[in-house]
Amino acid sequence: MGLTEQLFGSNAEKFSQCVENKIAELSERHKDFLSEGKIDLSTSYMITFGQSGSGRVGFGRTQDISPEIDLEIDRILTECAEKHLQKL
């Protein structure tokens, strides 16, 4: 069982779909900029769990793209998580 399934349980697929759909919309809005830099937003984020043993769930970007896009990715991850995260 992967981290996403552990954290989101039966909502893991809904969470993943939420993120994928919103990242696809973001990619479409910024397609000219992204194609210039050959940037794939689907690989621009990750889910982390427990930095230094804290047990906290976090989201991080694997790369900085632009202040506007970075902010949008952070917002998408947070909104989808809040909507689908199981009560732990």
Tens of pLDDT along the chain (88 residues) come to 466 666 666 777 788 889 899 999 999 999 999 999 999 998 888 766 555 555 556 677 888 899 999 999 989 988 888 887 765 4
Is the Cβ–Cβ distance between 31 and 19 less than 8 Å? no
For 82, half-sphere exposure in the C-beta direction (CA atoms, 13 angstrom radius) is 6
pLDDT computed for residue 42 by the predictor = 86
Radius of gyration of the chain (CA): 14
- Quick one: pLDDT at residue 55? 55
- Round to whole Å and give the CA distance between 67 and 40: 16
Domain ranges of the chain: 3-84
pLDDT reported for residue 88: 45
Q: What is the pLDDT of residue 53?
A: 52
Q: What is the pLDDT of residue 68?
A: 94
The first and second tokens of residue 78, run together, are: 């947070």
Helices (H), the chain: 3-8, 12-29, 31-36, 67-84
